[in-house]
Amino acid sequence: MTTTTLAAQTQDLPRLAPALDVVIPVYNEENAIVGSVETVRAHLATLPFTHRVTIADNASTDKTPVLAQQLADTYDDVRLVSLGQKGRGRALKRAWMQSDAEVLVYMDVDLSTDLNALLPLVAPLLTGHSDLAIGSRLARTARTTRGPKREVISRGYNVLLRGTLRAKFSDAQCGFKAIRRDVAHELLPLIEDDEWFFDTELLIVAERAGLRIHEVPVDWVDDPDSRVDIVRTALADLRGMGRVGWSLLRGRIPLAEVARRLGRATASSAGGRLSSQMVIFALIGMLSTLAYGVLYVALRGELGAQQANVLALGLTAVANTAANRRFTFGLRGPSGAVKHQLQGLLVFGCGLAVTSATLWAMRAMGTVEHPLVEVVVLTAANLLVTVMRFVLMRVWIFRRRPAETGSTA
């Protein structure tokens, strides 16, 4: 067999997927892209894994696309993914979803993170021990060089994440992350943000689904030429946190399904919906109680205590059932709405019996008849009714039938 024939047959063979695919998103980085890609390639050559470098160009308007194409033409282990719109999250979604590598990596083009952290980052993912891995500038043994302004903002942001969304990872925004391909294909369709909040949203959803996140302390040097608009990014991050928090409370993210498909189902990932329902139910309950008190005081003078109690409780019960149907249990549309209201009225009857008996007892004991005193006592009596209402709504009124369990709100 001739050398030419052998070479032709070799070219026809399918290429094996690399173990690592390092994605570098870029936008107008003509001064940095060549040096960064060659530095990453040189480091990857020292690792015992097959690899590829993917340049994800975010609609650059300088020479970046030309230089990126030249790199892809020169090296077999470099490819170019071109996007027509800006957005780091958008670039990572496209590049990761198109990749066939076992582990997908992301790093900033400025290479602020010491590349010696790459092996500890990807090793737990290649062995199957972890699902995602992140570099942390805030870990105890990390060494960072950056100004006080960025230090305060970074630490404050991560404290805010822990306080509002109960995040347990230490550094959401470090531009040095990795994810297994099968995990990426499950999570990326659920991530709405296409810009800087992408990292945070990905980690929150992964953590809430019970996935294992590995953290690596990194040596990191701030890039003085960073193009990030800190104020704009901070506001976008706050909006993103609110959106993700509300989606989690509503149970709109199928965490249990993701965990089950990836074989990571745990009590925490599968049972988080109950706590979310309790929070929303409590908020609706507080508003209902406030409305009940206002209506009772407003109606009592004209109708008397018992009649005011019936009308105020009835009106708030209908509104409470409708609100819980929509927000707590995620049911929309007219189907079953009348039935749910009728079931809610039965619960209302129980509440009416308790509160009416409370008013009767106050009269029998000669308690001072004052609207505010009555409201306080009736509110206390309603606490028992509230607990009963939540239990009945969950196990009876809004209990999902087997055919409904696959639907989402």
Does 171 qualify as catalytic in the annotation?
Answer: no
| Long-range Cβ contacts of 341-349 (<8 Å, 24+ apart) | 343/392, 343/396, 343/397, 344/317, 344/318, 344/320, 344/397, 345/317, 345/318, 347/317, 347/385, 347/388, 347/389, 347/392, 347/393, 347/397, 348/313, 348/314, 348/317
10 Å CB burial of residue 67 (0-12, 13-18, 19+) is buried
Q: List Cα–Cα distances, 227 to 81, 136, 230, 341, in angstroms.
A: 21, 21, 9, 55
DSSP 3-state assignment of 401?
A: coil
123's enclosing H/E stretch is helix 118-126
> Which is the catalytic residue, given 76, 199, 222, 223?
199
Beta strands in 1-101 (DSSP E): 20-26, 51-58, 78-83
Distance set, CA 100 to CA 18, 143, 157, 186 (Å): 7, 33, 34, 15
- Do the beta carbons of residue 149 and residue 231 sit within 8 Å? no
Q: SS3 sequence, 203-267? A: HHHHHHCCCCEEEEECEEECCCCCCCCHHHHHHHHHHHHHHHHHHHHHCCCCHHHHHHHCCCCCH
Closest CA to 113 of 82, 140, 145: 145
User: Measuring CA to CA, which residue among 398, 303, 316, 384 is closest to residue 350?
Assistant: 384
What six digits make up the tokens of 118?
């790459």
Q: Give, in order, the Cα–Cα distances in Å from 300 to each of 250, 315, 352, 363, 375.
A: 37, 15, 16, 15, 11
Label the pairing between strands 219-221 and 143-145.
parallel
Which sequence positions are flagged as catalytic? Answer: 199
